[in-house]
Amino acid sequence: MLRRRRQSRRPKTTRPVAQIAREEYEGARPVVKDGPVISRRSVVILAAWMLVAMLLAGQAWFAAQVRGESLAWARASAIWLVWAAVWAALTPIALRLEARFPLRRPRLLGALALHGVASAICALVNLAIFALAAPVIGATQVEPTWLGAFSRLLGTTLLLNLPVYWLIVAAAHGERLVRSAREKDRRQLRLEAQLADARLQALRLQLQPHFLFNALNTISVLMHEDVDSADRILLQLSALLRRSLDSTEAHEVTLGEEIGFLKSYLAIEQVRFGGRLSYRILVPDAVLQARVPNLILQPLVENALRHGLATRAGPGRVEIRAERQGDSLLLCVADDGRGLPPATTERVGLANTRARLRLLYADRQRLNVRNSADGGVIAEIELPWRTAP
């Protein structure tokens, strides 16, 4: 049952490499969306070309005033609005061509040739339609026939219209590069989050066998001394492991849940140490909803038991405290033992705890284990205060 439960949860945290590669490929391609997005894009294109038309009309009107020529604002606006409207209609075609034939290797030369032909065709279409509308809008130097007007425009403005297509393609190319860069950054962040999640899961799975080994070792000793106590510890261990498995994918739990787990753990240790172990938990109700890393206090308490009781024959005391200090939560585990010996090497529990804190909170956390001036060891953890998951 346990194996089946773990296997059913595994797909939530991992994705096939093929899927990631497919997303990377699709992220570099232009995104074609349907529905309201197309309408919004059309409005943006039309508004941009209207703005260009107004700027060019203003420039033409101002230049005419400087030269002392008579040019009405309405006439200048009509001329440039017609020109811009044709290019606004041609812009979606240019964008689709750029999306279908992007300017990138290995088909860069072919794309350049195709866009060169497309730019000439679009410029010719623009001039043809403008020549048709020229008599209506009162364009200057209008020939009596459409062919005459088109020929005149072809000789005077073709080279001015060709770069317009390339400006559209360049803008689309730049927008696609920006979008691809942003998508790449998002994928990188997702991959980093998945890697951190995998590391945290590995660290938590490292803690569970470590704790389980200690508990089973205690049961093994008691089986030869006190069978009833061993049976009682086995039942408590079963409940403890069930609670641990229920929250196996949660990196953070409430402080209240963590304290509940710790009480079950201390109940097992009390049977192990008999009357030698006493403990006190000083955690106000106001901080019980704070978010803390799952299984964050158990390694500290285990360290306190190792240095506070295991090395001496007399009784020992462990105290667990929690309090809020501004935007931080302070957790403290203290014992009254002999203290840490010089040049002590951190074992699995503390090294694991330090690594998990670094992964979860980066530089917004602090773990300090030191000898107390009154004897014993004090382990302090400072975390960012959070109550929302």
3-state DSSP call for residue 284? coil
Global pTM value: 0.51
Look at residue 327 and tell me if it is in a domain: yes
Q: What is the torsion angle, in degrees rounded to the nearest 10, for the CA atoms of residue 303, residue 308, residue 311 and residue 313? A: -140
For residues 164 and 128, is the Cβ–Cβ distance under 8 A? Answer: no
**CB neighbourhood size of 210 (10 A):** 16
Q: Are residues 153 and 257 in the same domain?
A: no
pLDDT digits (tens, 9 = 90+) for 137-196: 766 566 677 777 777 777 778 888 888 889 988 888 888 888 888 888 887 777 676 666
Look at residue 171 and tell me if it is in a domain: yes
Q: What is the torsion angle, in degrees rounded to the nearest 10, for the CA atoms of residue 15, residue 19, residue 24 and residue 27? A: -110
Q: Are residues 164 and 43 in the same domain?
A: yes
pLDDT digits (tens, 9 = 90+) for 243-291: 766 655 677 889 999 998 888 888 888 877 777 888 999 999 999 999 9
Which CATH number goes with the domain that contains 284? 3.30.565.10
Of 136, 169, 189, which marks where a domain is finished?
A: 189
Q: What is the mean pLDDT of residues 288-299?
A: 90
pLDDT digits (tens, 9 = 90+) for 182-237: 888 887 777 676 666 656 555 555 555 656 776 777 788 778 777 887 888 888 77
Look at residue 157 and tell me if it is in a domain: yes
- Domain containing residue 184: 16-189
Look at residue 4 and tell me if it is in a domain: no
pLDDT digits (tens, 9 = 90+) for 69-108: 777 777 788 888 888 888 888 888 888 888 888 888 888 8
CA 249, CA 268: separation in Å to the nearest integer? 24
Q: Are residues 300 and 374 in the same domain?
A: yes
**CB neighbourhood size of 193 (10 A):** 10
pLDDT digits (tens, 9 = 90+) for 108-118: 888 888 888 98
Closest CA to 281 of 307, 263, 300: 263
Q: Which two tokens stand for residue 188?
A: 């990188």
Q: Give the CA angle between residues 11, 12, 17 to the nearest 5°.
A: 60
Q: Give the CA angle between residues 186, 179, 96 to the nearest 5°.
A: 145
Closest CA to 376 of 347, 343, 346, 333: 333
Query: How distant, in Å, are the alpha carbons of 86, 328, 334 from that of 366?
Result: 64, 10, 16
Using the 8-state DSSP alphabet, how is residue 375 labeled? S
pLDDT confidence of residue 201:
58
Look at residue 213 and tell me if it is in a domain: no
Q: Are residues 231 and 363 in the same domain?
A: yes
Q: Are residues 235 and 138 in the same domain?
A: no
**100 CB-contact burial (10 Å; exposed 0-12 / middle 13-18 / buried 19+):** exposed
Closest CA to 215 of 276, 275, 264: 264
Using the 8-state DSSP alphabet, how is residue 133 labeled? H
pLDDT digits (tens, 9 = 90+) for 375-387: 888 999 999 999 9
For residues 255 and 283, is the Cβ–Cβ distance under 8 A? Answer: yes
Look at residue 199 and tell me if it is in a domain: no
State how many domains the chain has. 2
Look at residue 56 and tell me if it is in a domain: yes
Tokens 């229920």 identify what position?
A: 246
